[in-house]
Amino acid sequence: MLSRAVQSYLAVRRATGYTLKGVGLHLRSFAAFSDACGQRYVNTQTAIEWARQAPSVSQRARRLATVARLARYLQAEDARHEIPPPVFGREHRPRRPPFILSDEQISQLIQLAAQSGYRTLRRQTYSTLFALLSCTGLRISEAIRLRYQDITSDGLVIRATKFRKSRLVPLHETARAGLERYLQKRRPYALFDDHVFISLRRKPLREADVDTAFRTVVAKMGLPTGRRQRHPTPHSLRHAFAVRALQTCPDGREHITKHMLMLSTYLGHSNAGMTYWYLEAVPELMRDIAERSEAHLTGAAP
């Protein structure tokens, strides 16, 4: 039965560090569907029929791709397993170009956050949080999980993040001073919670809280907020940090390689390809690449 094969596959991949919560649910559902159809091996038509149950084409494509990876694993030992073709299209749609905030817009955003809402800790919480995201490139989830003990003399300790990695993020002395000013006001507010950023409920911030506060400030700035148009999100602060870091990269292949590797590690990317994506996602960086390529081909000085 396929159920046992699925459990074996999941166990092997989880042993390499993957959590596979959603994938596990989908594969167990597929195994049950196949078992009900009397299929002992991955069958292309059965896989397509199971994937077709998803409500959208993109979800169907992801489901079928999940089964295809299972089939490749199983086919290595038994050729009777069939690898279904991507009849619903690509599993991953192209990433949308990021909304890159300028330095002036970031300064205005932080200033407005310090003036928005009631005259309570909320103002300091969001202005400090947005400033920290901007100068460190942290993910929102990483910032709101920070605890007192994560602030060290060497920087911020980011523990077991998106890809189950931990890393150290250095802090500039100005960022450290701003964070300490906030903590002096925050510590008496919720004595029994050691999360750095907390809400007015004296609980750790939620991503939904951050998103709401960010959209409120962005609307005051007159920036786009509609879901159907490119608009800034809290993650735009991380994007802006990455782009600024790339713009400071020195010339020379060796320098670029080292710079990209360091930036990828600093941002906590699982592979450098995620960092290189910014080169094609931002027009300013693409223009710089085009100018240097043209200079190289013509023999002119860059």
- Residues with a known catalytic role: 139, 162, 235, 238, 269, 278
If phi > 0 it is left, if psi is from -120 to 50 it is alpha, else beta; for residue 20 that is: left
At residue 132, φ and ψ (nearest 5 deg) are -65, -40
Q: Rounded CA gap, 281 and 277, in Å? A: 6
Token pair listed for 139? 């993910």
Locus of tokens 């600093």:
266
Count of helix runs (H) and strand runs (E) in the chain: 13, 3
Instruction: Say if CB 2 and CB 31 are below 8 A apart.
Output: yes
Q: Rounded CA gap, 298 and 302, in Å? A: 10
**Exposed, middle or buried: residue 231 (CB in 10 Å: 0-12, 13-18, 19+)?**
middle
For residue 213, which of 101, 98, 109 has the smallest C-alpha distance? 109
Locus of tokens 């494509």:
61
For residue 27, which of 296, 11, 38, 209 has the smallest C-alpha distance? 11
For residue 161, which of 136, 135, 139 has the smallest C-alpha distance? 139
Core vs surface per residue 101-135: b (16+ CB within 10 A) or e: beeebbebbbebbbeebeeebbbbbbbbbbbbbbb
